[in-house]
Structure 1
Amino acid sequence: MKKVALIFTGGTIAMKVDKDLHGAIPSLSPNEIVQTLSGIDEFQNLIVHEFSSKPSPSITPIDMRNLANVVNDYLEQDEIVGTIVVHGTDVLEETAFYLNCVSTSNKPIVITGSMKNASELGYDGLTNLVSSIKVCMSPDSLGKGTLVVMNDTINSSVEVTKTHTMSLDTFRSMEFGPLGIIDHNEVIYYRDVTRNKKYQLTNKINNAVYLLKAYAGMNGEFIDYLIEHEARGLVIEALGRGNLPPTMLDALERAINVGIYIVIVSRCPAGRVLDTYAYEGGGKDLTNKGCILGGSLNGQKARILLSLAIANDFDFNDITKLYKV
Structure 2
Amino acid sequence: MNKITILIILLFCSSTTYSQDTTKPQVLIITTGGTIASKTNGPLIEGNNLIQAVPELSNYATVVVDEFVNIGSSKMTPLIWLQLVKHIRNALNSNPEIKSVIITHGTDTMEETAFFLNLTHKSKIPIILVGSMRSSNEISADGPANLINAVRVGISPEAIGMGVMVVMNDNISAGRDLLKMNNRRVDAFPSTELGFIGFCDPEKVTFYRSPIKLHTFESEFNVYDLDSLPKVDIVQDFAGLDSEILTFFMNRSNQGLVISSFAGGRLSNGIISEIVNLPATHKPIVISSSIKEGRIMGSNPEGTPIIIANDLPSNKSRILLMLSLTRTTDITKIQEYFNKY
How far has the Cα of 1:40 moved from its partner?
A: 5.5
CA deviations 1:82-116 (Å, max 9, x no partner) are 10111111001100100011011011000011110
CA deviations 1:23-74 (Å, max 9, x no partner) are xx43321111211233664345111000011011111111111111112223
1:75 counterpart (92, 107, 116): 92
Match of 2:51 in 1: 34
Match of 1:156 in 2: 174
2:126 counterpart (103, 108, 117): 108
1:196 & 1:172 partners in 2: Cα distance?
A: 23
Q: What is the TM-score of this pair, normalised by structure 1? A: 0.89
**Count of aligned positions:** 311
Q: What is the TM-score of this pair, normalised by structure 2? A: 0.85
Q: For the structure 1 residues 254 and 68, does the alpha-carbon distance in structure 2 shift closer, same or farther, using more than 3 Å as the test?
A: farther
Match of 1:214 in 2: 237
- Deviating more after overlay: 175-184 vs 241-250: 241-250
- Deviating more after overlay: 294-303 vs 201-210: 201-210
Which letter maps to 1:48?
Answer: V
Post-superposition, which runs of at least 4 consecutive aligned residues in structure 1 deviate over 6 A? none
1:311 & 1:9 partners in 2: Cα distance?
A: 26
1:247 & 1:135 partners in 2: Cα distance?
A: 47
Which letter maps to 2:149?
Answer: S
1:100 & 1:314 partners in 2: Cα distance?
A: 22
**Cα contact 1:26–1:53 (8 A) shared by 2:** no
Q: For the structure 1 residues 82 and 39, does the alpha-carbon distance in structure 2 shift closer, same or farther, using more than 3 Å as the test?
A: closer
**Cα contact 1:220–1:252 (8 A) shared by 2:** no
1:1-325 to structure 2, matched below 5 A, reads 1=22, 2-18=25-41, 25-38=42-55, 41-76=58-93, 77-198=95-216, 199-203=219-223, 204=226, 205-253=228-276, 259-275=282-298, 289-325=304-340
Which letter maps to 2:222?
Answer: T
Q: For the structure 1 residues 287 and 240, does the alpha-carbon distance in structure 2 shift closer, same or farther, using more than 3 Å as the test?
A: farther
SS at match of 2:182: coil
Unaligned ranges ≥5, structure 1: 19-24, 276-282
How far has the Cα of 1:315 moved from its partner?
A: 2.5
1:263 & 1:232 partners in 2: Cα distance?
A: 12
2:237 & 2:132 partners in 1: Cα distance?
A: 31
**Cα contact 2:173–2:198 (8 A) shared by 1:** yes
1:287 & 1:92 partners in 2: Cα distance?
A: 35
Which letter maps to 1:171?
Answer: F
SS at match of 1:75: helix
How far has the Cα of 1:206 moved from its partner?
A: 2.7
- Deviating more after overlay: 205-214 vs 83-92: 205-214
Q: For the structure 1 residues 254 and 233, does the alpha-carbon distance in structure 2 shift closer, same or farther, using more than 3 Å as the test?
A: farther
Q: For the structure 1 residues 32 and 266, does the alpha-carbon distance in structure 2 shift closer, same or farther, using more than 3 Å as the test?
A: same
2:214 & 2:193 partners in 1: Cα distance?
A: 13
Which letter maps to 2:169?
Answer: N
Q: For the structure 1 residues 255 and 7, does the alpha-carbon distance in structure 2 shift closer, same or farther, using more than 3 Å as the test?
A: farther
How far has the Cα of 1:258 moved from its partner?
A: 6.6
- Deviating more after overlay: 237-246 vs 266-275: 237-246
Unaligned ranges ≥5, structure 2: 1-21
CA deviations 1:114-157 (Å, max 9, x no partner) are 11001210111111100000000001011111001011100001
